[in-house]
Amino acid sequence: MNGFAICRARHLRVAVLFAGAALACAAASAQVLLSSPAEKQLAAERFLIVAPFPPGGPIDSLARILSEGLAKRYGQAAVVENLPGAAGNIGIDKVKRARGDGHTLL
């Protein structure tokens, strides 16, 4: 193996290690969040999923799949709102200005 291949393999191992650690942290925090009394409060109001890209694209499809899962889990409607424009900044701004109660997702 030449030096470039060794360096590349080392960087790949580090990237995989960090990705695995991030995934483990996300799974642990999701488990804590979903098993808490906050789960009952989440079911009290409908969810709004903001897709900052035009309808019909992959982000819109993913948002609609997520909305179906949320509706089944919490028994509340989950609305997908597409806000394309400004490279996604319009949708991001709407989520930034929303209440911090966990009902508005990006």
Mean pLDDT lowest among 4-8, 15-19, 49-53, 95-99: 4-8
Q: Do residues 6 and 24 both lie within one domain? A: yes
Per-residue pLDDT reduced to its tens digit, 47-57: 888 888 888 88
Is the whole model's pTM more than 0.85, yes or no? no
Q: Do residues 70 and 106 both lie within one domain? A: yes
Q: Do residues 55 and 32 both lie within one domain? A: no
When divided into structural domains, the chain yields a total of 2
Q: What are the tokens at 12?
A: 């790949």
* Sole residue written with tokens 């609609």: 64
